[in-house]
Structure 1
Amino acid sequence: MKSTFETELKRCATAVEAHLQNVLTDQSQAGETVRPPRLMAAMRHGVLNGGKRVRPFLVLQSAALFNVPEKQAMATACALECLHCYSLVHDDLPAMDDDDLRRGEPTVHIAYDDATAILAGDALLTLAFDMVAGDTHIDDHQTARDLLSLLAKASGLGGMIGGQMLDIAAESETPNEADIRQLQAMKTGALIRYACEAGAVLGKATAQDRQRLRRYGEVIGSAFQLADDLLDVTADTQTMGKATGKDADRGKGTLIGIHGIDAVRAMLAQQVAEAQSLLEPFGSKGEILRETAGFIANRNN
């Protein structure tokens, strides 16, 4: 029998997928001239390809802590997923990670071509900000400004994109532990941190609760990357739906390389414990997010 968490994760993924399908249509919207069909097909290929939808799930569940109805958080959640998927489309390109598989399917540049993949990623990035800016469920300008500013910082030069740059540099310059942690906090952690803080922003939470959710996001973002690193050395390509062992092949420094598998598993356990303790003030309302921390650390793909 599935747990409440598993049921909710699947339900949210289905709701997010349905919303994204409605957004990624060929029908042009107000202010647009035309949506090129090949571009839209490539965008859908990069977004509507399954996945657990963890980041939008975190937005929806964090917002629920502050009694925000799901429909009021859905645009922000799906905008984040579009932005995340843009990063995957670009990461998979030959000039970056050069991957042929994503979630068990051909990557966008393989299914289409490099130029179309670049444009599909660009379009998903800009669409993400348009979705937040145009969300009619956000009822005040300050909330919209906060969400947009936080998203820009989490995804931009001091967040995910900056982290990707550091990741490229790590192929030729051996990073120390502090460098690796900084890289991971930016490349992977920043969008997960945003997912959790965005829910608090939507819920007009107190500064203390907003900081609590931000820290929760930082901790599980770190856990997410550590779990990925473990899977990269312990899982196979079929289970992961993408190539594994690439960090070692490229000579990238990782915490596993420094401390070993057992030590990293111990770090993960500590992070789960911290993340769960941050949710104690929310009582039973925080149960789904408590289970999310454990799921992120112990997932198998």
Structure 2
Amino acid sequence: MTTTPEGAQQPQTQQDPRAKHQDEFPAHEDIGQPGLTSQTAPDPDHGEESYVGSGKLKGRRALITGGDSGIGRAVAIAFAREGADVAIVHLPEEQEDAETTLKLVREAGQNAAAYAQDLRATDAAETVLQRALEDLGGLDILVLNAAYQRKRSGIDETPIEEVQRVFDTNLISHIALTKAAVPHLNPGSAIITTTSIQAAGPAPPLFDYAMTKAAQVAFTEVLAQELTPAGIRVNAVAPGPIWTPLIPATNFPEDKVESFGSDTPMERAGQPAELAGAYVYLASEDASYTSGAVIPVTGGKPFTGG
């Protein structure tokens, strides 16, 4: 126990990060894309029971792509509990997950909206952006989080249409949505991209995914130079191995899923809730002098850039 200046005892909250989550992952056969929370065991921790807000984003309005599950849901929960209204984008097949995220945002007392939209479609970015502006009454935070990845057997066996899907989802849709959003962002707004440890330490089975994640680092750094003089901050979060529906949907070997995250210095995978604070920081006034940065949340794996 610790003692406050007023003499009241408070529980000790400092915790060994190695032991915070000790999940055992079963052998997972490929669940296919898109991965759904109901198909992911054990359930990812999105902060449903643990995240407590303190008003850091009160009055803000956020649009999160890939906000139905995994990291996107954790960010939506945290933003809502920090006082932000939240709109999310998800694939039509992810409707059930999206409804759960909406419920959690509304339970936090915030406005919520969801758009079932494949962002690769023609004019999808403009359509989603316009709906968000109407539903939220404006936009202050854009989180570019939607992603697609699949394990590759080798470059000679990878269909070009699959590579195109990765690039269209992870890069082109982000560029299109940012292009549509920037004219509506005022000074003090924030753009946050979800890149990856793959940007710094690419693995051959994810060569196309890793390429897009390295490009996202460059996108973040270049866009920060362009938009920071206008008062718009641009940053990124680089997750390491995080347990989300994307993992059993990647077609990894079963033993790879069972040992997921064990190669980090913490010897475990991270949970989506453990990234939420990084996004809150980058979206908040606490990060008023932070632009062009990449925050690694990697369980101790080094990140040295794309």
TM-score (norm 2): 0.32
Larger strand percent = 2
Answer 1 or 2: higher relative contact order, Cα 8 Å, separation at least 6: 2
The structure with the greater share of residues assigned to helix is 1
